[in-house]
Structure 1
Amino acid sequence: MSEVVRNILLLGASGLIGRFVTDDLRARGFRIIGVARQLSPAQRMSALDIELPIMTLDAAALTCLLNEHAVDVVVNCVGVLQDAPGSDTNAVHRDFVVRLLQAIGASGRAIRLVHISIPGAANEDRTSFATTKREAERLVASSGIPHVILRPGFVVAPSAYGGSAMLRALAASPLDLPAKEMATPFQPVAISDIAATIAWLAARDIDDPAVKAVSWDLMQAEPVTMAGVIKQFRLAFGTAGWPHLAMPAFLLDCSAWAGDLASRLGWMPPVRSTAIAELRRGVTGDPQHWVAATGIVPTTLAEAIGRHPATIQDKWFARLYLVKAFVFASLVAFWVVSGFIALIVSYRAAAGILSAHGFPSALVDPITIGTSLMDMSIGVLIAFRRTAGVGLVAGIVASLGYMVGAAILTPDLWIEPLGALVKTGPAIVLMLVALLMLDSR
């Protein structure tokens, strides 16, 4: 085995697996270039973390990237769960891999590709996510390029995103999934074992026949169910002794439908139709070839979670994670519905308030219509992920404007029986909370 330090290009360095592996391999002494379509400000820790529009790079541009950094190993962690605006499973999982394989072949360098895929049998693939992932596997396997396909089980990591965040949220709540889903097989893997495997592979010579073209399932061997995973998280959160209520299956399906709708608005909720379909399929595999080749002893679920007992920030995140959707949905409804009522349902009553407080008649209709349209626009801005921050700030400013304007022009509204203006204060606080919860990673 060569002692030369490898240069590693990791694609998808902003994701759950990609971020951890990038940081872990750097700590081990590898020179690793982390590439992502978008990095959060907190992830821009190194000059070697690069933002690039990966999906738009052609094979020639990818070849230049490989040669520019003298890459020895490429780790492909790029993936999306479901088709949505800006996310195309076929483009991400298949078409990109085609170009990546062409780039590796054209680079003139001896490069090993480590490709992150999914476990399970191909004949059980039902979603676009699974079928395109499997097609990418076939392309890699038939490419003739030295490669290792890694199929991690349910990933347990210190951070949480997507499905792993959803299970933490369930563990911190009195809710259970329906009994059928709770009994689904769900073999986990510690993210540290994934990083250790990639480090082990990166240290191998490119012509090592033992890892020339292999596929491994990465997970603990002992069978575990979804209920077992959630139970272990509940032990960490201190909620194992709580009474728990199983949600009906139709509610889970309704949540998936709502998640699909939210994804059309640019959000990435963990509960979507693909996530539920993959959850019901389960996570199973056979790690014996991985263990035999690398000598890595899989970390057990209890060890993986027990090494990181829940802290107060973990508990707050888990408790608020599922509530986040209700916070944003309620704010969208609040602004859109209130504006609609003032404009359509109770227009005369809304205009009458201004008239009764001495507003010039020429201004009553324009102000009533303008503020109603403004309220509805704020709700629409909050509904879309890309503009939600702008909408929340606009909502806070508008609410403060209403309060100050009422105090100057119509101070008696502050003491009306229903306390409409008094209730504006808590609405501002809720918008501030939503603004603080806006980040997704």
Structure 2
Amino acid sequence: MNQRTILVLGASGLIGRFITDDLRTRGFRVVGLARRLSPAQKMTALDLELPILSLDAATLTRLLREHAVDIVVNCLGVLQDGPGSDTNAVHRDFVARLLKALSDSGRAIRLVHISIPGTAQDDRTAFATTKREAERLIAASRIPHAILRPGFVIAPSAYGGSAMLRAIAAFPLDLPTAEMATPFQPVAVEDIAATIAWLVARDIDDLSVKAVSWDLMQSEPMTMAGVVKQFRCAFGTAGWPRVAMPSFMLDLGAKIGDVASSLGWMPPMRSTAIAELRRGVTGDPSTWIAATGIAPKTLAEAVGRHPASIQDKWFARLFLIKALIIASLVAFWLVSGFIALVVSYRAAAGILSAHGFPPALVDPITIGTSLMDMGIGVLIAFRRTAAIGLVAGIVASLAYMAGAAILAPDLWIEPLGALVKTGPAIVLMLVALLMLDNR
């Protein structure tokens, strides 16, 4: 058993989770730290949940000493500013505190920092500029460090952009022609993990890796179209006819994604994501390959030479539909409540009156149920309260159906079948509830 201890910051993310598990299988003692871990990610007592971004330098120093950390791997990152996401706080301010903690720890610790490829001249987004500022802080410090700049990461799991490309591959749809031609060099997450394991095995005094910056990606040029094509081969959709999305639709989707982001969701199609996509993913991995001897996996090896499993196909097909499901349920509850309260109030109240409700209760019940419906729509719209809203919607729908069966059974056979259609709506809310998890 190798006794070196690695602290992985951001152990719940795509790269961080894979690295944590991979290093443990290699025999290292790994402390996985994240702001929030899913129940499935809490593998051992060394998987910790802490409010990372609010930890000051002194607290970080105590953490490093308490766990006798030898290597820190920083995988923290957010794509865009929004509720609970601040690119400056995550990429720059936290790194500054981490560097101070490393300096004050009294221990010889190497920092491995996950950054982004490209050059500062091409940086146009807060995501990119703050990532680059973090690199400058690290380079100016005296801390032994390795800055790793992975290309487009191919992993068994899929979040954000990697999930979106899988979804595109599963449908007869292409991004606009210009975007599909963007340089897009991939890297297998296994190669990132192998690089970190290689660095962990190096002595802290090894001058050849005291301060390095490497691009991690396959050497062969690749475009986004080539990456999507490989996924299509895995999904069995390579022969399908395809339609290219107009550019304005991509821009519109990014704006809608920004609105969803303000409600706490993390859609893959946001303005920053599209801007970074259009910049492309390129770099020069020759220095990394020469130093480590790692031969990067080809795209075919990374995606896999075997067909996608049924769970892969289901995920890819449902990924984009999830947003449509949530949006349609929000609209369903808001519009139905608004119609009953404003547009057709007399008709809605008349249904209660016609079925013998006391006149004094007709208006309060009509207004109350309409406001309740709209409230359910608002709850579903916000990510933090979506689960509560969906459960409330299911309960309310069942209550409407039961109440109608007891008090107004004739509504079950009215020509438009409004109550009959409530059943499929309940099923759709249940589907949405089961799909809420992001990781």
Structure 2: segments with no counterpart, 5+ residues: none
Q: Give the conservation status (yes or no) of the 8 Å contact 2:2–2:28.
A: no
Cα separation, partners in 2 of 1:26 and 1:307, compared to 1, 3 Å:
farther
Match of 1:134 among 128, 132, 135: 132
Q: 1:305 aligns with which of 287, 303, 306?
A: 303
CA deviation vs aligned residue, 1:332-376 (integer Å, no higher than 9, x gap): 000001000100111001001111111110010000000000000
Q: Verify: 1:150 aligned to 2:151, yes or no.
A: no
Q: CA deviation at 1:319?
A: 0.1
Whole-angstrom distance in 2 between the partners of 1:4 and 1:339: 62
- The aligned counterpart of 1:264 is 262
Residue matched to 2:247? 249
The amino acid of 2:243's aligned partner reads L
How far off its partner does 1:5 sit? 3.0
With 84-93 and 306-315 compared, the bigger mean Cα shift is at 306-315
Q: CA deviation at 1:325?
A: 0.3
Which 5+ residue runs of structure 1 have no aligned equivalent?
none
- Out of 102, 108, 111, the position equivalent to 1:110 is 108
Name 1:406's counterpart in structure 2. 404
SS of 2:111's equivalent in the other structure is strand
- The code of the aligned residue for 1:171 comes to A
SS state at 2:168 partner: helix
Offset of 1:307 from its aligned partner?
Answer: 4.9
Q: Which residue, out of 23, 35, 39, partners 2:37?
A: 39
How far the C-alpha of 1:6 sits from its partner, in A, is: 1.3
SS of residue matched to 2:214: strand
- 1:50 corresponds in structure 2 to 48
Amino acid at match of 1:129: F
1:189 matched residue in structure 2: 187
3-state SS of the aligned residue for 2:392?
helix
Matched-pair contact (CA < 8 Å) for 2:2–2:27: no
Secondary structure of 1:388 counterpart: helix
Question: What is the CA-CA distance between 1:94 and the residue it aligns to?
Answer: 0.1
* 1:158–1:308 CA contact under 8 A, matched in 2: no
Write the letter of the residue equivalent to 1:27.
Answer: T
Aligned-residue sequence identity (percent) comes to 81
Distance 2:342 2:135 in 1: 55
Q: TM-score, normalised by structure 1?
A: 0.99
Aligned residues of 1:112 and 1:145 also touching (Cα < 8 A): yes
Equivalent position SS for 2:8: strand
**Pair 1:337 & 2:331 matched:** no
- Match of residue 356 from structure 2: 358
2:160 corresponds in structure 1 to 162
Q: 1:309, CA displacement in angstroms?
A: 3.6
Aligned length: 439
1:189-211 deviations in Å (ceiling 9; x for gaps): 00000000000000100010110
Distance 1:180 1:210 in 2: 41
SS at match of 1:299: coil
Structure 1 residue 4: deviation in Å? 5.7
Paired residues of 2:154 and 2:303 also in contact (CA < 8 A): yes
Which residue identity lines up with residue 437 of structure 2 in the other structure?
A: D
Aligned to 1:214: 212
Match for 1:295: what amino acid? G
What one-letter code is carried by the residue in structure 2 that aligns with 1:393? Answer: V
CA apart distance, 1:320: 0.2
Structure 2 match to 1:233? 231
Distance 1:378 1:305 in 2: 41
Structure 1 runs (4+) deviating above 2 angstroms are none
- 8 Å Cα contact 1:5-1:203 kept in structure 2: no
Task: Report what 2:178 is aligned to.
Answer: 180
| Partner residue, 1:439 | 437
Q: Secondary structure at the match of 1:92?
A: helix
Q: Do the aligned partners of 1:233 and 1:305 also contact (CA within 8 Å) in 2?
A: yes
Deviation of residue 308 (structure 1)? 6.0
Taking structure 2 as the reference length, what is the TM-score of the superposition? 0.99
The CA distance in 2 between the partners of 1:209 and 1:300, in whole Å, is 30
C-alpha separation between the residues in 1 aligned to 2:237 and 2:58? 53
